[in-house]
Homo-oligomer: A and B are copies of this chain.
Amino acid sequence: MYAREIKLSGHIIDSLMLPKTLDLIMDKGGDFKILDFEVGKHKKDVSHATIRVAADTESLLGEILDELSEIGALVVEIKEVQLLRSEKDKTLPPDFYSTTHHPTYIRFKDEWIPVEGIEMDCMIVVDPENKKAVCKPIGKIQKGELIVVGREGIKVVPPERPRGKKGVFEFMSSTASSEKPMKSTVKKIASEIKAIKHNNGKIAVVAGPAVVHTGSAPVLAKMIKEGIIDILFAGNALATHDIESALYGTSLGICVKSGEATVRGHKHHIYAINEINKAGSIKDAVEKGVLKKGIMYECIKNNVPYVLAGSIRDDGPLPDVITDTMDAQDEMRKYVQDVDMVIMISTMLHSIAVGNMIPSHVKSICVDINPATVTKLADRGSAQVVGVVTDVGAFLPMLYDELAG
Which positions in A face B, CB cutoff 8 Å?
A: 13-14, 16, 18-19, 22-23, 25-29, 31-35, 37, 39-43, 60, 63-64, 66-67, 88, 90-92, 96, 98, 121, 137-139, 161, 163-166, 171, 177-185, 188, 210, 213-215, 235, 251, 254-260, 263-264, 266-267, 269-270, 273-274, 277-278, 309-317, 319, 323-329, 332, 349-350, 352-353, 356, 369-372, 375-376, 379, 389-394, 398
A321 CB to nearest chain B CB (Å): 9
Residues of B within 8 A of A66 (CB): 263-264
Residues of B within 8 A of A326 (CB): 310, 314, 317, 323
Identify the interface centre among A312, A350, A353, A391: most chain B CB within 10 Å of its CB: A312
Residues of B within 8 A of A185 (CB): 259
Residues of B within 8 A of A394 (CB): 182, 390-391, 393-394, 398
Cβ-defined contact, A26 with B164, below 8 A: yes
Known: A23-B14, A325-B325. A375 touches B43 (CB 8 A): no
Task: Determine the distance from Cα of A111 to Cα of B183 in the docked complex, in whole angstroms.
Answer: 49
Smallest Cβ-Cβ distance to A90: which chain B residue: B277
Known: A63-B264, A263-B63, A369-B369. A274 touches B92 (CB 8 A): yes
Residues of B within 8 A of A171 (CB): 260
Identify the interface centre among A37, A63, A177, A327: most chain B CB within 10 Å of its CB: A177
Name A215's contact: one of B39, B182, B376 (CB within 8 Å).
Answer: B182
Residues of B within 8 A of A14 (CB): 19, 22-23, 26
Residues of B within 8 A of A96 (CB): 270, 274
Residues of B within 8 A of A393 (CB): 181-183, 390, 394
